[in-house]
Chains A and B, each alone.
Chain A
Amino acid sequence: MREENYLYFANDGGSDTDKDMAMFPASTFRGAVTMSSTTVEFFFAPQDGTGTTANGVLLTHADIASNATDGTSPYADDKHYVVMEKFANLASGNRKNTTNFTVIKDLNTLVSNEGAISSGGISEVTAVAITID
């Protein structure tokens, strides 16, 4: 069995209500799709075991248009690309010098000096919405 990497997502709700937080094995990642100029959704194999309707984590970031260096080209500083690239780096199972618990995004107030527990994840992400049927 290859080493698994577990990806942690949490909104700012303090893990007090259903789907405030979720953790997926990286191997269940199916892909990511841009949903708007400010959102990217990351899809995973469903936790209900049916293998059909994917679970999704919608990440919100700054509008791509507002980040264009010349005001016209959204690719100049494309937050879609940045978020996807950072996710890929974090989710990669080839990071031998890290633990297998990886915070993709945690919007809650963080404690200090506890390694991965203190990690907020991808800085460009401003909101997290988790869909698990």
Chain B
Amino acid sequence: MAIQMAVPSHGGETFVTLIKDADEKFCGPASNFLGLKCDGAGSMKLRFEDVDGTAAATVIDITVTDSVGTGVEMKRVCQAIAGAMAGHGVQGKFVKIADTLAGTYIHPDLLSVDAVA
């Protein structure tokens, strides 16, 4: 008799959360992360596979410190996001990257979540 194994859809997965305000929030598996890019001085766009299954991306705009002029603050935020995506063991498996509503962020150079679309 075959035994049906229960396989969670995202077993061992890390979930990340970004919150703009009470009405605009994102939570999704780190494995759905498509990448990020600089969108201008102090501005970054993070993209995740769209949660509604369409061939598009969920786009999250964030603001970071831009005072040195070498992009090092953005680089530090990227490193922090990469660390948050790993999640296992240190940060746990539900990681809040940024919460503008509560004013809490994983890195001091991450200043706000500006849009979740």
Q: Footprint of B on A, CB under 8 Å?
A: 1, 3-4, 6, 8, 10, 13-25, 28, 44-51, 55, 99-101, 103, 106, 108-111, 116-117, 130, 132
Contacts and interface: CB of A to CB of B under 8 A. Distances in A.
Interface of B: 10-14, 29-31, 33-41, 47, 49-50, 55-58, 66, 69-72, 74-76, 78-79, 81-83, 85-86, 88
Contact of A111 (B41, B57, B72): B72
A6 B75 contact: no
A54 B77 CA distance: 25
A48 B35 CA distance: 9
Q: Is the interface of B mostly helix, strand, loop or mixed?
A: mixed
29 contacts: A1-B13, A4-B31, A10-B38, A10-B71, A15-B66, A15-B75, A16-B40, A17-B41, A21-B71, A21-B78, A22-B35, A22-B38, A23-B37, A25-B33, A45-B34, A47-B57, A48-B34, A49-B34, A49-B49, A49-B55, A49-B58, A51-B55, A99-B79, A99-B82, A103-B75, A106-B75, A110-B70, A111-B70, A117-B76
B71 A14 contact: yes
A13 B39 CA distance: 12
A42 to B, nearest CB: 13
Contacts of A106: 71, 75
Given A21-B74, A50-B55, A3 B40 contact: no
Contacts of A109: 70
Contacts of A45: 34
A108 B74 CA distance: 12
A129 to B, nearest CB: 13
B83 A101 contact: yes
Contacts of A17: 38, 40-41
Nearest to B88: A3
Given A15-B66, A16-B40, A117-B75, A24 B35 contact: yes
A21 B70 contact: no
Contacts of B78: 6, 8, 21, 23, 101
Most-contacted residue by chain A among B39, B50, B79 (CB, 10 A):
B79
Kindly list the 8 A-B residue pairs having the minimum CB-CB distance in the complex, ordered from nearest. A15-B71, A49-B57, A101-B82, A21-B38, A6-B82, A22-B37, A16-B41, A101-B79
